[in-house]
Amino acid sequence: MCFGQWGRDSYGSRVRGTGGGTRGVGTGCGYDKPEKMAGRALLFAGPPSTGKTALALGISQELGSKVPFCPMVGSEVYSTEVKKTEVLMENFRRAIGLRIKENKEVYEGEVTELSPEEAESTTGIYDALIKEKVAVGDVIYIEANSGAVKRVGRCDAFATEFDLEAEEYVPIPKGEVHKKKEIVQDVTLHDLDAANARPQGGQDILSLMGQMMKPRKTEITEKLRQEINKVVNRYIDEGVAELVPGVLFIDEVHMLDIECFSYLNRALESSLAPIVIFATNRGICNVRGTDMTSPHGIPVDLLDRLVIIRTETYGPTEMIQILAIRAQVEELEIDEESLAYLGEIGQRASLRHSIQRLSPASIVAKTNGRDKICKADIEEVSSLYLDAKTSAKLLQEQQERYLT
Ligand SMILES: Nc1ncnc2c1ncn2[C@@H]1O[C@H](COP(=O)(O)OP(=O)(O)OP(=O)(O)O)[C@@H](O)[C@H]1O
Ligand SMILES: [Mg+2]
**Per-residue model confidence (pLDDT) at position 81:** 84
Choosing from 49, 75, 312, 357 the residue with most ligand 1 atoms within 8 A of its CB, the one to mutate for a pocket test is: 49
Q: Which CATH number applies to 19-95+246-310: 3.30.420.40, 3.30.70.3000, 3.40.50.300, 3.40.50.10470? A: 3.40.50.300
403 CA from centroid of ligand 1 (Å): 34
Cβ partners under 8 Å of residue 68, min gap 6? 94, 95, 96, 97, 188, 244, 246, 247, 274
SS3 114: coil
| DSSP-assigned letter for residue 257 | B
Identify the residue whose C-alpha is closest to ligand 1 atom 24.
48
Q: What are the DSSP E strand ranges found in 144-200?
A: 149-155, 169-170, 178-188
Q: Is ligand 1 within 6 A of the CB of residue 350?
A: no
Choosing from 10, 53, 281 the residue with most ligand 1 atoms within 8 A of its CB, the one to mutate for a pocket test is: 53
Q: Is ligand 1 within 6 A of the CB of residue 297?
A: no
Of residues 357, 355, 351, 344, the one with CA closest to residue 386: 357
Q: Is ligand 1 within 6 A of the CB of residue 11?
A: yes
d(C-alpha 158, C-alpha 321), whole Å: 42
For the CA of 51, the nearest atom of ligand 1: 18
35 CA from centroid of ligand 1 (Å): 27
Q: Do domains 19-95+246-310 and 316-397 have the same CATH topology?
A: no
Domain ranges of the chain: 19-95+246-310, 97-242, 316-397
**Per-residue model confidence (pLDDT) at position 37:** 62
Q: Is CATH 2.40.50.360 the right assignment for the domain spanning 97-242?
A: yes
d(C-alpha 248, C-alpha 69), whole Å: 6
SS3 391: helix
For the CA of 23, the nearest atom of ligand 1: 1
For the CA of 17, the nearest atom of ligand 1: 1
Residue type, 32: D
Q: Is ligand 1 within 6 A of the CB of residue 56?
A: no
Contact criterion met (CB below 8 Å) for 314 and 351: yes
Q: How does pLDDT run across 85-136, given as a tens digit for each residue?
A: 999 999 999 999 999 888 888 899 999 888 877 776 656 788 888 888 888 8
d(C-alpha 208, C-alpha 186), whole Å: 13
Q: What 3 state SS string does 321-377 have? A: HHHHHHHHHCCCEECHHHHHHHHHHHHHCCHHHHHHCHHHHHHHHHHCCCCEECHHH
**Per-residue model confidence (pLDDT) at position 163:** 53
**Per-residue model confidence (pLDDT) at position 257:** 93
**CA terminus-to-terminus distance, the chain:** 50
**What are the percentages of helix, strand and coil residues in the chain, rounded to 5?**
40, 20, 40
**Per-residue model confidence (pLDDT) at position 19:** 36
**Per-residue model confidence (pLDDT) at position 30:** 40
Q: Which residues of the chain have pLDDT under 70?
A: 1-38, 120-123, 160-166, 198-218
Cβ partners under 8 Å of residue 398, min gap 6? none
Contact criterion met (CB below 8 Å) for 220 and 194: yes
CA atoms within 13 A on the CB side of 21: 7
Q: Which residues surround ligand 2, an ion (CB under 5 A)?
A: 53
| DSSP-assigned letter for residue 115 | -
Q: How does pLDDT run across 37-56, given as a tens digit for each residue?
A: 667 899 999 999 899 999 99
**Per-residue model confidence (pLDDT) at position 36:** 60
Q: How does pLDDT run across 57-99, given as a tens digit for each residue?
A: 888 888 887 899 999 999 999 988 888 999 999 999 999 999 9
**Per-residue model confidence (pLDDT) at position 344:** 92
385 CA from centroid of ligand 2 (Å): 22
For the CA of 56, the nearest atom of ligand 1: 18
Strand partners, 143: 106
Q: Which CATH number applies to 316-397: 1.10.10.10, 1.10.8.60, 3.30.565.10, 1.20.1330.10? A: 1.10.8.60
320 CA from centroid of ligand 1 (Å): 14
